[in-house]
């Protein structure tokens, strides 16, 4: 039975629950599954909420199901790490054949990250696929691609995660890279043609609003620079508190700071980096968040890859006009990436501030993307490799930024995706010793934490390898999809 729930359908009750802090985690209520028709629950709530002795938590627990909101991965016996991860693939597998609460239905089984996250996440799934490839689990890789395709054809894009309250934003567009991985794993180049319409549809989502755009303006996810070049930014269709962090957002909002505060917060979530000093105007306080004012180097590199894939797939299908169209788009974006993101003095790629017409001050590990996708020339790659070795690589892996702000996507935390990007980026340009050091430092950190705790974490402390990483809106989670994937893939290389 389908019990699809949109938060706005229970807005009054939802706000009261989030503000009252009856649950430790604000995500708990967003994952609730109604036990009765929504209209019935709302009517009952309006009738009972002002009566004497009314208990909000009891009301919620008697009208909603909270089964499975937390994944328990405790073990009595600690297995060798590789065996543990192989078992985890099964434990992190889920099916959603029908809508249930805010959870969207998906046609195929999928892998969830772990911990408090029990839904399908977009960019996480690419890094999960690396580990599935290493484990020989090709069918689950195919499932992930099929689920992404279903979401793109149903909603026009892959949502941040498979819940109704994420239908206003996506995440870094990795679908074309997922196809590369699947084609490599199956030795089947026909995969690109099979998903050609999916690639095109996702591209339309990211470029929506471009046609009417004048120079020095932005619309949705598209930016036109004052010189007339087209770039992209992260965005969100809504400008209100996130349901999954409702109270946090309300408490962070300080009038009259920024009328687009909530949209800037949500746009940072679309980047996957929630949160980082990378997005803050003053590099320090979340109240100064200005994600919408930035063209991001990672996003533009990923969209270059999508354009390149579309050009190549058009050629496969003898669509010469489309091939030329996408080839030109990729070529123009490659030039723009070089023009707007490369900082030769800083020896780093930086985000571009579209209002100030200059690089941002933030030094972030997103500088790896042009090397990961082989967009950098050898001189640029060498300069970036020196910056990585000097400023980003620590005993426990590569950090995400050089600034310690207390946010989870800042120093001193090391996240799995960037260990793989760092390793492969250095390999791409022949910096094999540095690639090996990145791999070794992080893998040893993962193994140390696993030996001490029996867990694979969402993120790691790269500086102090005696501790577990912190920061963020919730405790460090265990499970953990992309850590498992990157660890297995690195150990295989």
The confidence band for 476, taking pLDDT boundaries of 50, 70 and 90, is confident
- What was the pLDDT predicted at 11? 96
- CA 406 to mean position of chain CA atoms: 19
Peptide bond preceding 256 in cis form (omega within 30 of 0): yes
pTM (predicted TM-score): 0.97
- What was the pLDDT predicted at 256? 52
| Alpha carbons 363 and 356: distance in angstroms, whole number | 17
Question: Is 288 in the same domain as 395?
Answer: no
Give yes or no for a contact between 125 and 110, defined as CB atoms under 8 angstroms apart: yes
Selecting among 124, 202, 274, 298, the annotated active-site residue is 274
CA atoms within 13 A on the CB side of 91: 19
Q: Is pLDDT at 460 greater than 90 in this prediction?
A: yes
**Which residue's entry shows tokens 């029996």?**
454
What is the pLDDT of the chain when averaged over all its residues?
95
Sequence-distant (≥ 6) Cβ neighbours of residue 33 within 8 angstroms: 3, 5, 64, 65, 66, 67, 100, 101, 103
CB atoms within 10 A of CB 388: 24
* 16 among known catalytic residues: no
The confidence band for 184, taking pLDDT boundaries of 50, 70 and 90, is very high
Paired with 342 in beta bridges are: 349
How confident is the model over 376-412, as pLDDT tens digits?
999 999 999 999 999 999 999 999 999 999 999 999 9
Helix or strand (DSSP H, E) at 202: helix 196-207
* 458 among known catalytic residues: yes
Q: Is pLDDT at 479 greater than 90 in this prediction?
A: no
In sequence order, what DSSP letters do the residues of 361-379 get, joined into one string?
Answer: S--BGGGGHHHHTT-S-HH
Select from 65, 96, 112 the last residue of a domain: 65
The confidence band for 290, taking pLDDT boundaries of 50, 70 and 90, is very high
How confident is the model over 136-170, as pLDDT tens digits?
999 999 999 999 999 999 999 999 999 999 999 99
Question: Is 488 in the same domain as 381?
Answer: yes
How big is the chain, counted in residues?
Answer: 493
**What does the angle CA 100 – CA 105 – CA 110 come to, to the nearest 5 degrees?**
110
Contacts 24+ apart (CB under 8 A), 215-223: 218/292, 218/354, 223/295, 223/354
Whether 486 maps to a domain, the answer reads yes
Q: Is pLDDT at 70 greater than 70 in this prediction?
A: no
Selecting among 252, 363, 410, 458, the annotated active-site residue is 458
Domain range holding 276? 246-292
Whether 252 maps to a domain, the answer reads yes
Q: Is pLDDT at 72 greater than 70 in this prediction?
A: no
- What was the pLDDT predicted at 375? 98
Q: What is the mean pLDDT of residues 109-121?
A: 94
Q: Which two tokens stand for residue 151?
A: 């979401």
Whether 36 maps to a domain, the answer reads yes
- Give CA torsion, residues 441, 446, 452, 454, to 10 deg: -170
Whether 258 maps to a domain, the answer reads yes
Whether 442 maps to a domain, the answer reads yes
The confidence band for 296, taking pLDDT boundaries of 50, 70 and 90, is very high
The confidence band for 173, taking pLDDT boundaries of 50, 70 and 90, is very high
Whether 115 maps to a domain, the answer reads no
Range name among 6-20, 63-77, 274-288 with the lowest pLDDT average: 63-77
Whether 32 maps to a domain, the answer reads yes
Select from 236, 258, 292 the last residue of a domain: 292
The confidence band for 75, taking pLDDT boundaries of 50, 70 and 90, is low
The confidence band for 465, taking pLDDT boundaries of 50, 70 and 90, is confident
How confident is the model over 238-261, as pLDDT tens digits?
999 999 999 999 999 976 568 899
- What was the pLDDT predicted at 149? 98
| HEC-encoded secondary structure of 412-440 | CEEEHHHHHHHHHHHHHCCCHHHHHHHHH
How confident is the model over 207-238, as pLDDT tens digits?
999 998 999 999 999 999 999 999 999 999 99
CA atoms within 13 A on the CB side of 368: 26
The three-class DSSP label of residue 105 is: coil
Number of domains in the chain: 3
Select from 43, 65, 87 the last residue of a domain: 65
């Amino acid at each position: 039975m389908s019990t699809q729930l949109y938060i706005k359908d229970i807005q009054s009750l939802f706000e009261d629950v989030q503000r009252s802090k009856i649950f430790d985690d604000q995500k708990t209520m967003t994952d609730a599954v109604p036990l009765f028709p929504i209209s019935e629950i709302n009517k009952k709530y309006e009738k009972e909420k002002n009566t004497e002795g009314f208990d909000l938590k009891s009301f919620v627990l008697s009208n909603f199901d909270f089964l499975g909101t937390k994944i328990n991965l405790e073990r009595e016996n600690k297995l060798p790490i590789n065996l543990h991860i192989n078992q985890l693939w099964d434990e992190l597998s889920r099916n959603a054949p029908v809508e249930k609460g805010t959870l969207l239905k998906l046609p195929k089984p999928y892998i969830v990250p772990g911990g408090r996250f029990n839904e399908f996440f977009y960019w996480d799934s690419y890094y999960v696929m690396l580990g599935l490839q290493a484990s020989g689990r090709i069918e689950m890789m195919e499932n992930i691609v099929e689920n992404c395709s279903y979401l793109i054809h149903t909603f026009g894009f892959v949502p941040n995660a498979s819940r109704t309250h994420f239908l206003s934003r996506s995440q870094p567009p990795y679908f074309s890279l997922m196809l590369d991985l699947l084609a490599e794993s199956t030795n089947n180049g026909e995969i690109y043609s099979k998903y050609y319409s999916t690639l095109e549809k996702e591209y339309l989502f990211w470029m929506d609003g471009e046609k009417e755009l004048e120079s020095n303006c932005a619309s949705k996810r598209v930016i036109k620079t004052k010189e007339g070049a087209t770039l992209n930014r992260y965005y969100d269709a809504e400008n209100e508190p996130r349901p999954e962090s409702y109270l946090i957002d309300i408490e962070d909002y300080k009038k009259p700071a920024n009328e687009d505060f909530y949209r800037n917060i949500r746009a940072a979530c679309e980047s996957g980096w929630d949160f980082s000093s990378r997005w803050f105007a003053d590099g320090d306080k979340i109240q100064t968040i200005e994600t919408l004012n930035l063209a991001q180097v990672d996003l533009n590199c990923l969209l270059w890859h999508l354009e390149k894939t579309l050009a190549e797939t058009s050629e496969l299908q003898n669509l010469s006009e489309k091939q030329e169209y996408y080839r030109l788009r990729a070529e123009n974006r490659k030039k723009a990436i070089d023009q707007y993101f490369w900082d030769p003095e800083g020896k780093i790629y930086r985000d571009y501030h579209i209002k100030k017409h200059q690089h941002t001050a933030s030094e972030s590990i997103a500088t790896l993307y042009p090397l990961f996708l082989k967009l950098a020339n050898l001189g640029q790659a060498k300069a970036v490799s020196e910056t990585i070795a000097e400023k980003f690589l620590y005993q426990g892996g590569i950090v995400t930024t050089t600034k310690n702000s207390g946010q989870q996507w800042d120093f001193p935390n090391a996240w799995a995706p960037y260990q793989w990007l760092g390793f492969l980026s250095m390999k791409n340009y022949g910096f094999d010793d540095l690639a090996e050091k990145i791999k070794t430092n992080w893998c040893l950190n993962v193994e140390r934490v696993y030996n001490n705790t029996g867990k694979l974490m969402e993120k790691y402390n790269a500086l102090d390898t005696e501790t577990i990483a912190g920061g963020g809106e919730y405790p460090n989670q265990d499970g953990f999809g992309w850590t498992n994937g990157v660890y297995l893939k690195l150990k295989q290389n």
